Structure 1
Amino acid sequence: MGRKLNEDEAAHFSELEISEKKNRKKNRNKIPKHEQSQTIEEEEPKLKRKLNQSETLEDPKPNGKDSKKKKRSIAESNEELDANDLIERKKFEERPVEVKTVVVSGNNTKESKYAALGSFSEAKLPDQVLECCKSFSKPSPIQAHAWPFLLDGRDLIGIAATGSGKTLAFGIPALMHILGKEKKNASKRVNPLCLVLSPTRELAQQIADVLLEAGKSCGARSVCLYGGTSKGPQISSLKSGVEIVIGTPGRLRDLIEMGICCLQEVSYVVLDEADRMLDMGFEPEVRSILSETCTIRQMVMFSATWPPSVHQLAQEFMDPNPVKVVVGSEDLAANHDVMQIVEVLDDRSRDARLVTLLEKYHKSQSNRVLVFVLYKKEASRVESMLQRKGWKAVSVHGDKAQRDRTKALSLFKDGICPLMVATDVAARGLDIPDVEVVINYSFPLTTEDYVHRIGRTGRAGKKGVAHTFFMQENKGLAGELVNVLREAGQIVPESLTRFGTHVKKKESKLYGAHFKEVSADAPKAKKTTFDNSDEE
Structure 2
Amino acid sequence: MRNSESRKNEKMKNNRTADEESPIQDSTLETKKDKKKKKKNKHKKSLEEEKAPTEAANLKRKLKIDDPEEDDAIKKKKSGEDDVEIGGGKEVFVSGNDVKEVKYTALSSFDEAKLPEEVLECCKGFNKPSPIQSHAWPFLLDGRDFIGIAATGSGKTLAFGVPALMHIRRTGRKKRLNPLCLVLSPTRELAQQIADVLCEAGKSCGVSSVCVYGGTSKGPQISSLKAGVDVVIGTPGRLKDLIEMGFCCLKEVSYVVLDEADRMLDMGFEPEVRSILSQTCSIRQMVMFSATWPPSVHQLAQEFMDPNPVKVVVGSEDLAANHDVMQIVEVLDDRSRDARLVTLLEKYHKSQKNRVLVFVLYKKEAARVENMLQKRGWKAVSVHGDKAQRDRTNALSLFKDGICPLMVATDVAARGLDIPDVEVVINYSFPLTTEDYVHRIGRTGRAGKKGVAHTFFMQENKGLAGELVNVLRESGQLVPTDLMKFGTHVKKKESKLYGAHFKEISADAPKSKKITFNDSDGED
Tell me by how many angstroms 1:509 deviates: 2.8
Give 1:501's aligned residue. Answer: 488
Contact kept in structure 1, 2:257 and 2:288, CA below 8 Å: yes
Give 2:172's match in structure 1, choosing from 165, 173, 182. 182
Provide the residue aligned with 2:273 in structure 1. Answer: 286
Preserved CA contact (<8 Å) 1:308 1:508: no
- TM superposition score normalised by structure 2: 0.78
Q: 1 CA distance for matches of 2:438 and 2:493?
A: 17
Residue-by-residue CA offset, 1:230-277 (whole Å, 9 max, x unaligned): 111111111111100000011101111111111111100000011111
- The 3-state SS of whatever aligns with 1:108 is coil
Q: Give, in angstroms, the shift of residue 513 of structure 1.
A: 7.6
Matched, 1:296 2:311: no
Match for residue 191 of structure 1 among 178, 192, 197? 178
Q: Which residue of 2 aligns with 1:352?
A: 339
CA distance in 2, matches of 1:276, 1:213: 26
Partner of 1:111: 101
What is aligned with 2:370?
383
Kindly report the root-mean-square deviation, in angstroms, between the aligned alpha carbons of the 2 structures: 1.4
How far off its partner does 1:402 sit?
0.9
Deviation at 1:192, TM superposition (A): 0.6
- In the alignment, is residue 480 of structure 1 matched against residue 470 of structure 2? no
Bigger Rg, which one: 1
Paired amino acid for 2:109: S
Aligned residue runs from structure 1 range 127-142, under 5 A: 127-142=117-132
Aligned AA for 1:119? S
Does residue 163 of structure 2 align to residue 173 of structure 1? yes
Q: Secondary structure at the match of 2:306?
A: coil
| Native 8 Å contact 2:424 2:452 kept in 1 | yes
The 2-side partners of 1:114 and 1:98 are apart by 18
Instruction: Tell me which residue corresponds to 1:410.
Output: 397
Q: Distance in 2 between matches of 1:107 and 1:512?
A: 37
Listed as ranges, the gaps of 5+ residues in structure 1 are 1-96, 515-536
Residue 75 of structure 1 aligns with which residue?
none
1:324 paired to 2:311: yes
Q: Match of 1:343, SS?
A: strand
Matched, 1:101 2:91: yes
2:262–2:297 Cα contact (<8 Å) kept: yes
In structure 1, what is the equivalent of residue 190 of structure 2?
A: 203
The one-letter amino acid of 1:150's match is: L
Return the letter of the residue paired with 2:120: L
> Which residue of 2 is the match for residue 370 of structure 1?
357
**Does 2:205 align with 1:218?**
yes
Aligned residue number for residue 267 of structure 1: 254
- 1:108 Cα offset (Å): 1.3
2:51 alignment counterpart: none
* Match runs of 1:30-109 below 5 Å: 99-109=89-99
The gaps in structure 2 that reach 5 residues or longer are 1-86, 502-524
CA deviation string 1:26-58 (max 9, x = no partner): xxxxxxxxxxxxxxxxxxxxxxxxxxxxxxxxx
2 CA distance for matches of 1:470 and 1:511? Answer: 24
Identity of aligned residues (%): 88
Deviation at 1:189, TM superposition (A): 1.2
CA contact (8 A) 2:326 2:451 kept: yes
Cα distance in 1 between the residues matched to 2:394 and 2:131: 33
Task: State the alpha-carbon separation in 2 of the partners of residues 135 and 489 from structure 1.
Answer: 33
**Separation in structure 2 between the aligned mates of residue 198 and residue 406 of structure 1, nearest angstrom:** 17
CA–CA distance in 1 between the matches of 2:215 and 2:499?
35
The one-character-per-residue Cα deviations of 1:263-296 (angstroms, maximum 9, x if unpaired) are 1111000000111111111111111111111000
Distance in 1 separating the partners of 2:272 and 2:247? 17
From 143, 162, 178, the equivalent of 2:152 is 162
Question: What stretches of structure 1 move > 2 A for 4+ residues in a row?
Answer: 506-514
| Cα separation, 2, equivalents of 1:212 and 1:324 | 27
Q: Which of 265, 277, 292 pairs up with 1:305?
A: 292
- Equivalenced residues, count: 415
Picking from 371, 380, 387, the partner of 1:400 is 387
Distance 1:360 1:163 in 2: 26
Q: Deviations over 1:294-352 (max 9, x none)?
A: 00000000001111111111111100111110000111000111111111111111101
Secondary structure at the aligned position of 1:196 is classed as: strand
2:446 aligned with 1:456 = no
